[in-house]
Structure 1
Amino acid sequence: MNITVMCSSPEHPVNAYLEQWADDKRVRHEVDLVRKRSELPGGDILFLVSCSELIKAEHRAMYKHTLVLHASDLPKGRGWSPHIWEIVGGANAITLSLLEAEDRVDSGKIWLKRSIPIEKTDLWYDVNHKLFQTEIDLMNEAVESFGQIKPQPQDANITPTYYERRTPTHSELDPHKSIAEQFDLMRMCDPERYPAWFEHRGQKYKMSLEKVDHEEN
């Protein structure tokens, strides 16, 4: 099979997983990892993973199937960074959906779904590992079961919900609130991409959070 994986940012932490997956799959398939839609070669499957460019019908027509990995239980949680918003809101689990790309964002038929349990002590890198590994699992299943999966329309009885795009302002902490009150936000702030920060006494500060084993105390 001819497979393309598109991930817009080479700095995104999912890339290490995608590169290893591509290397593994090249034993049996032709696999390209691209950053821009202008680089799309065409083929059987196009996987869109953390893709910020709009992939239009003309680009999707170059492939038998164009599939999006989206971390929500669609049709709930369309839009940007749904798993972040849900964990910050107190969720104990997130859902990863593999769906067909359409002109309307996150509206296509569902190929596969997986629930991912999230521990209350998981930090952003723990969640990343669980999410990225599940993305790889769904990509594997889509390739291995190509032609056998029967995509299902999203439940029309459920009203879609949408999340806004995450920006640095969403990582702001309130210095007058306790750590416990803001812990779910703090633990999902990637210190490189979306660091937690606050202002106090006219100065802006950046914070990072990491686990420390008990024996290190």
Structure 2
Amino acid sequence: MKIQILVDNPNSWIIPYAERLLDTCKSNGFNAILLFNHDEVEEGDILCLLSCEKKFSKLNLNKHNLVVHESYLPLGKGWSPVSWQILEGKNEIPITLFEATDEIDTGDIYLQETIKLEGHELIDEIRQAQGEATISIILNFLTDFGNIIGKVQTGESTFYKRRKSKDSRLDINESIKSQFNLLRTVDNERYPAFFELNGHFYKISIEKMM
């Protein structure tokens, strides 16, 4: 079985986990390859679309086009579902494996699992849990391939917007404790926490000491 793994952002945090998925697929006897460009995708059996930032359009090339999304679809479609749910105060984050279609986040659902956090994790630890869960749910699909039947999404759909740098803004009139979930989800380099005071903007970095 030919498996292709596509990550269309060569700087994505998920690349180490995509590489681990690649190695695990190979060790289990699959013909697997990791790609970084949509145009490199060829005909095959399974295409895994991991944290892709652009819509993949050539869905006819592979028998299955798998997407991992961290919400209980059809709830929580859209962008950055893990961060938005942490901001909602959740520490149990659903993860859904589903079939890509022309319409974003609407395909048949194959598997659903749960990422369990404890509430202290910062972004690197959150991404580690997310990456581990991504590998797990795809391997579960491959292990039981042929016996898993997709289910049509039913129920109400909700959508998360794309997070922007302004969403990392802290309120200087609120406590650190009340804004800790926001601090957990910021990236110190790409979209750091910041605040404004007396017309000036200040960046705050956060890291765990122990």
Does the alignment reach a TM-score above 0.5? yes
Q: Counterpart in 2 of 1:178?
A: 175
Structure 1 residue 164, shift from structure 2 partner: 0.6
Maintained 8 Å contact 1:98/1:113: yes
Q: Counterpart in 2 of 1:38?
A: 39
The one-letter code of the counterpart of 2:184 is R
> 1:8 aligns to what SS in structure 2?
coil
Q: Counterpart in 2 of 1:9?
A: 9
Matched-pair identity in %: 36
Q: Counterpart in 2 of 1:142?
A: 141
CA–CA distance in structure 2, aligned partners of residues 144 and 100 of structure 1 = 17
Structure 1 position 208 matched with structure 2 position 210: no
Q: Counterpart in 1 of 2:79?
A: 80
CA–CA distance in structure 2, aligned partners of residues 31 and 129 of structure 1 = 22
Structure 1 position 133 matched with structure 2 position 109: no
CA–CA distance in structure 2, aligned partners of residues 39 and 148 of structure 1 = 29
Q: Alpha-carbon deviations, 1:82-109, whole Å to 9, x = none?
A: 1110101111210110000011110111
> 1:91 aligns to what SS in structure 2?
coil
Note the residue ranges of structure 2 that are not aligned, 5 or more in a row: none
Q: Counterpart in 2 of 1:169?
A: 166
TM-score (norm 2): 0.95
The one-letter code of the counterpart of 2:74 is P
Maintained 8 Å contact 1:4/1:42: no
Maintained 8 Å contact 1:98/1:138: yes
Q: Counterpart in 1 of 2:53?
A: 52
Query: Between Structure 1 and Structure 2, how many residues are aligned?
Result: 209
TM-score (norm 1): 0.92
Cα RMSD after superposing both structures? 1.2
Structure 1 segments, 4+ long, off by >4 Å, are none
The one-letter code of the counterpart of 1:196 is A
Structure 1 position 191 matched with structure 2 position 188: yes
The one-letter code of the counterpart of 1:68 is V
